[in-house]
Structure 1
Amino acid sequence: MEKIYGIHNIYLAGRKHGRRFMAKRSIGAVRLWRSLTFAQRCYLVATSMLLVWFYFDINSTIFDVVMYSFVLAGLTNEVWPRFMLVWHSLPGKAAILFIYAVIANFALASASGMVNDVVGVSANALPYSHNFALILMMPTWFFLTSIIALVVVTLLTPLYLLALLVLKPIGVRRFWHAPDYRFVFTTALVRYIWTLALLFELILLAAQAGLMGAYNNGVSEDIVSVTYEKEASTPIPSSSSVQVEGSDSLTEDDAGVDTPTTSVKTVIDDINKDQPDIEEDVLLLWEEAKAKNKAFKRSQRRLLAEFIYEFESDSRSRCAHSDDSRVIELNDYEILQITRTQSEDNEIGYQYEVLACRSPGIGNTQTAVK
């Protein structure tokens, strides 16, 4: 009976010490959580979700969206105050406006090129369609500018980490942060890793959505295809056929030394066998990205063509035209005639022709004005 009481007392004492230990640990965790900033808490939650994702191999889009939402919230919380600080200064405001002006210039030029590619005339003759094309191009430029900004941040972050390591021996543990900001280097390293991951996800999302694709002239596709063909046709040499400059080729029998060349050769042969599979996967992803990019551009062209036909063009004009067409007057002597077509070769569904204006006002009275 005394033994039972002794075991019971040991159990009660152990449970009491365990509760104290957990209470101390929980208090320490609460103190640590309270000492972190909002951005650091977001990075901590996102990192914990990433560890859970690795451990349980979670394949859920909602889980990924929530995880990267915490990363975006943390980055926004840290970047936005600095952006506002730069904006409220005169040099910073000038730099930001200059960047926006450059982006707007490129966006306007790309919108003008889209209009010209669709109708075959200058975008100056279609001002409303030019503006609509600019609206269609905004998602593309939003992703491109976001990716460029993340690339710049990613390139500058290692310099910041190096500066922290160099200045740490002389007592400088933080700059650009509040005095109570903790774990400066660790937070910067975690932020750098998450910025790389977010950059990769944005590029993948833009490629899947068709916002980033191959160049129009097809040079990039040729370069990639030639590169992979060369890699596929050039196997990795095995260890038994390697030659050293200035000496004869060495084989396993000539070396006279027992070396584990058989296992190395097997591994290299396996790599050579697996290499075409990897290349096929990469080429498949490349082809899917190109197809989605073409489909996205095709939808943009169709929307623009529909806008031009419904809103920019006129059904009645002083210049003669066919009954089933619409007209945009380019000048006093030329018109742009737009006609619907069901041809399979025409992917946008409209045909554009620049014709001479046949009007009584310029001395042509033989054709009635429609």
Structure 2
Amino acid sequence: MQQLPYFMPIKDRLRHYQARLSGFWTSLNLAQRCYLLAIIVSFVYLWDDAQSHGLMVGITALVLVAMLSEFWPKFIQIWDSLPGKAVILLFYGFVANYALVQASGLVNDITGVSADHLPYTHNFAVLLSVPIWFVITSLVVLLLIQFSIPVYILLLMLLRPFGLHSIWHPPGYRFGIITGFIRFGAGLFLLIQLTLLTTYTGVLYGVSQTVTNIVGDIETDLTINVIKSSDEEIAAAIKEKPELESTLSELDEAKAIIDQQASSYEKKVKRILANFIFDNEADARSRCEHSEHSRVIELNDYEILEIEKITTADKTSYRYQVKPCISAAIGHQFKVNAIKP
């Protein structure tokens, strides 16, 4: 490294430092630059008393761009290979199957009939489920990355004395180990942000319910005893420190708010689907008799799903009833039976 003269004009010294800083910046790739900017913005965020939401969004965006720029070329390399295509298609086929099942369950919960009778609504429900499963796959990928990065850093440190770590990176790649540690921290940060977002919006409500049911089915007596013992320990701790009771009540209130937000997401999706069924998929005119202002979906030659719109000052709801198809040719026996005293 070139030594600076002891006596040097301030202007020349500033130019020297500017040249060194410019050389350092140009030696970094896009991901490393984004990581560096994210660290700088993080310090600004910590020093900001108001802790602006915009700064947090900026940090998240920089980390996301950095990780995408690093892992997208790797994804392309895996996709170009035949085994890679098989693994990726198998993974997304598994995800698509669950998205179809979840969409079918939503339609059935709304109407009370099979989603096979409402193909357009089923497809629309699948499209609404795509963000949920996109978040799920992102969480899974981030978890896998977090498990692999410590192994990656350890291998880099073990291979460094032999000079073999450089073959893992393109020519001119600098600060591999330091970048690995920063990548690990950035991955954890992104995982936490994504988890908080899904918890706040409630997009994982259906998945959490499924996991809860599975855990409930496989629960054993041992786990029940552990839960009971934990409750006893909590009660004893509250007796020793009464202030813990207020803390636990605050946690219960926070959990109740999260549960409410989570269930509200599913309610919004169901309301959107219910409106779509009545306004788009159901028929206003039918060969089968139905109530005035109601709409009909023909299930088969003998049955219909009648949908009535109920509007009140507070909300709009729908009533679904499976009725016999009374047309010009069939179903008159049901009409006769209906008017009998």
> Does the CA contact (< 8 Å) of 1:302 and 1:348 recur in 2?
no
**Paired residue for 1:354, among 313, 319, 322?**
322
Give the 3-state SS of the residue equivalent to 2:209 in structure 1.
coil
* Consecutive aligned runs of 4 or more in structure 1 exceeding 6 Å deviation: 216-221, 225-228
Compute the displacement of 1:58 (Å): 4.6
> Does the CA contact (< 8 Å) of 2:290 and 2:296 recur in 1?
yes
Distance 1:291 1:121 in 2: 27
List alignment gaps of at least 5 residues for structure 1.
1-12, 238-268
> Does the CA contact (< 8 Å) of 1:329 and 1:335 recur in 2?
yes
Q: Once the two structures are superposed, what CA deviation does each residue of 1:141-200 show, in whole Å capped at 9, x if it has no partner?
A: 121111111111111111111211222233222343113111001101101101101100
Compute the displacement of 1:16 (Å): 4.1
Letter in 2 for 1:75: M
Distance 1:299 1:180 in 2: 51
CA shift in 2, pair 1:44/1:277, >3 Å: farther
> Does the CA contact (< 8 Å) of 1:39 and 1:77 recur in 2?
yes
Distance 2:131 2:125 in 1: 11
CA shift in 2, pair 1:130/1:206, >3 Å: same
Q: Once the two structures are superposed, what CA deviation does each residue of 1:300-333 show, in whole Å capped at 9, x if it has no partner?
A: 1111011111111112222221113111111111
CA shift in 2, pair 1:175/1:200, >3 Å: farther
Distance 1:173 1:78 in 2: 17
**Paired residue for 1:183, among 157, 175, 187?**
175
> Does the CA contact (< 8 Å) of 1:305 and 1:348 recur in 2?
no
* Higher Rg: 1
* Aligned equivalent of 1:235: 237
Answer yes or no: is 1:49 the counterpart of 2:41: yes
Q: Once the two structures are superposed, what CA deviation does each residue of 1:185-232 show, in whole Å capped at 9, x if it has no partner?
A: 1101101101101100011111111213352797689x9x98985564
The number of equivalent residue pairs is 320
* Aligned equivalent of 2:61: 69
Distance 2:154 2:238 in 1: 37
**Paired residue for 1:215, among 206, 209, 213?**
209
Q: Once the two structures are superposed, what CA deviation does each residue of 1:221-249 show, in whole Å capped at 9, x if it has no partner?
A: 9x9x9898556413299xxxxxxxxxxxx
Letter in 1 for 2:279: E
* Aligned equivalent of 1:245: none
Give the 3-state SS of the residue equivalent to 1:134 in structure 2.
helix
> Does the CA contact (< 8 Å) of 2:325 and 2:331 recur in 1?
no
Q: Given the two structures, how large is their TM-score scaled by the length of structure 2?
A: 0.84
> Does the CA contact (< 8 Å) of 2:324 and 2:331 recur in 1?
no
Distance 2:152 2:134 in 1: 27
> Does the CA contact (< 8 Å) of 1:298 and 1:348 recur in 2?
no
Give the 3-state SS of the residue equivalent to 1:355 in structure 2.
strand
Give runs of aligned pairs for residues 45-124 of structure 1, distance below 5 A: 45-124=37-116
CA shift in 2, pair 1:289/1:104, >3 Å: same
**Paired residue for 2:292, among 297, 302, 323?**
323
Distance 2:168 2:34 in 1: 19
CA shift in 2, pair 1:43/1:148, >3 Å: same
Letter in 2 for 1:29: L
Letter in 2 for 1:34: T
Give runs of aligned pairs for residues 168-317 of structure 1, distance below 5 A: 168-213=160-205, 214-215=208-209, 232-235=234-237, 272=241, 275-317=244-286
Compute the displacement of 1:97 (Å): 1.8
Letter in 2 for 1:309: F
Say which is worse superposed, 203-212 or 85-94, in terms of deviation.
85-94
Distance 2:246 2:194 in 1: 26
Q: Given the two structures, how large is their TM-score scaled by the length of structure 1?
A: 0.77
Give the 3-state SS of the residue equivalent to 2:36 in structure 1.
helix
Q: Once the two structures are superposed, what CA deviation does each residue of 1:287-311 show, in whole Å capped at 9, x if it has no partner?
A: 2221111111111111101111111
> Does the CA contact (< 8 Å) of 1:327 and 1:335 recur in 2?
yes
> Does the CA contact (< 8 Å) of 1:298 and 1:347 recur in 2?
no
Give the 3-state SS of the residue equivalent to 1:323 in structure 2.
coil
CA shift in 2, pair 1:168/1:216, >3 Å: closer
Compute the displacement of 1:347 (Å): 7.7
Give the 3-state SS of the residue equivalent to 2:277 in structure 1.
helix
